[in-house]
Every structure is written in structure tokens, then in C-alpha cells.
Amino acid sequence: MTQASIPRKTLNLRQQEMRDGMWMLLPGILIIFIITLIPVLYTFVLSFTNTPLSNPRPQDFVGLANYLAFLKSQQFWQAIWRTFYFTVVSVGAELVLGLAIASLIHSRPPGWKFLRTSLIIPWAVPTIVNGALWRWIYNADYGALNGLLMSLGLITKYRAWLTEPATAMNLVIIADIWHSLPFVVLILQAALATIPVEMEAAAAVDGATAWQRFWLIRIPLLQPAILVALIIRTVEAFRVFDIIYVITQGGPAFGTVTISYLTYLESFSYGHLGSGSAMSFLISLFTLAMALIYIRLFYRPEVRA
């Protein structure tokens, strides 16, 4: 056997391993294609039609009419505004509070293990159950919020919290923060555990204050974890539906109708599958754009913990 034949034989062996690996992955790829890609393509086709819910087969091709109609719709842009408001406030509060709580756990105060374990409880609660819980808390007749404020002397009579659009939206945001904050905390706390202690110790010896160590060492090294939390939570918040459906059902006066809830109304309440499909693709474009913006702003491949 000549020396020149060894690399050729090694290359052929690698090619065979890759081919065998592809054959092993093929069943999984086919399953993903069937349960994911085909429905997405079907929905995309529906978005160019005027298909009713009573006969969900693509029919009456209308081109871009569904998309253009929504872009001219005041109700659509109001839902977009409410969705952006929900997303910015919810995700922003979760990030700030998540950093604070993760830093607290990282400093290991007394009871830090109990705090870290108890954080899993709100996150483990199903979203529907979480919505039902907070709907009971906000109830105007026997809700826990009214009872607590009455016992503290902050109000003199029970208040119907969900009858004002702005108040209802903010209360739904609080419920969403309570449910999703533990996810952000756990991601950031795990990332904090990977930061070498020596780096902050050396900065402290050089005279850096705690605030300077936080901004100049922790934040840059936490950027990959922050990026992951931001993308996942932004996509989830922008698609929020279930918690709004359970707590307010889009009310009062459509004051909590987000873009996902409007898609539900368009598709299943009004029976317009074509326009509902078009709206769902507009949601996908918005979420994709926000994810790309986050990656552009926060992704720094040269930063390593």
C-alpha cells in the first residue's frame, strides 16, 4: 500500500460514515417535514385565497389582497401596537428582574438554594392554569387582589380591575411576567456560574467598583445568554394568545386584542381562513425581523466566558 492511497481510503471512509448518518437522520427529517413544513406551506397557500372556515380547501385565489387589506386596516395596526407594548414591557421587565434575581442567587445569600428551587414553580404551571389563577386574583367580586388591598387599607371598596383597557393590558402583563420570569432567571444564573471568579477579583483589586464590574465584566460575558433569553421570550410574547384568552378574551372593548388574538378571531370567529393565514405569516415576518435585530445588536462571536 502506497502512502498516497491512505488519504483516499480515509476520505472514502468518512464519506461512508456521512452517508450512513444521513440515512439514520432521514426518518426524523421526514417526520419534521410532514408535521411542520407541509402545514406551513398549506397555510402559505391559503393566505393567497379567500377560503372560508366551512370549506378549508384553497379556493378563490385573491393574490396579495389579504395582505394589503391588513396593512390598510386600523384594527390590525392597533393590534400590532398592543402586541409591541406587551412584548416590550413584559420582556424588558423580565430581563431587568431576571438579572437582579440571578445576581442575587449568584451571590449565594442565606436561603439561595430554596429561592432557586422555588423559581421553578411559576414556570412549571401551565399557561392556561396560570391565566385562570390570575383571573381569580383579579375578580371584581371575590378576587385576592381586592381582598389584599382592602386588608391593607389601600382601597375602600372592591374594584373591577379588568373593565378598563389600559389597566387590563398591564394586569395581563403582570401575569405573564410572573409565569415567564423564572425562565430568564435560570438562563442568566447558569451563565453567571460560568464566569471565572478570578476576573471580577482582579478587577476589584485594580479598584473597580461593583457597578463597574457588573457593566464591564458581567454584562459583556452574559451577552450570549441574554440574546437567547431575548429571542425566545420575544417570540413567545409577540405570539401571546392563551393567557389573554383566559383572562380577558380580548376585552374590554378589544383593549387586549393582540395580533395573535386577532388572527384567532379572523380565522375561527369570523371564519376567514385565508385572511387569518395571511395574518399568521405577517406575525412570522415580524418575529423574524425582531430576532435578526437582536442578533445584530447583541451577538458578539469574539466574546467568550
CB-based contacts of 278, cutoff 8 Å, min separation 6: 47, 48, 66, 67, 70
CATH 2.40.110.10 fits 63-298, yes or no: no
- What is the pTM assigned to this prediction? 0.85
Distance CA 189, CA 200 (A): 16
Treating both helix axes as pointing N-terminal to C-terminal, what angle do 219-238 and 273-298 enclose, rounded to 10 degrees?
A: 170
User: What is the full per-residue pLDDT of the chain (305 aa) written as tens digits?
Assistant: 455 544 555 557 778 888 888 888 888 888 888 888 888 888 889 999 998 888 878 888 998 999 999 888 899 999 999 999 999 999 999 999 999 999 999 888 888 888 888 888 998 899 999 999 999 999 998 899 999 999 999 888 899 999 999 999 999 999 999 999 999 999 999 999 888 888 888 888 888 888 888 888 888 889 889 989 998 999 899 999 999 999 999 989 899 999 999 999 999 999 999 999 999 888 888 888 888 887 787 766 654 44
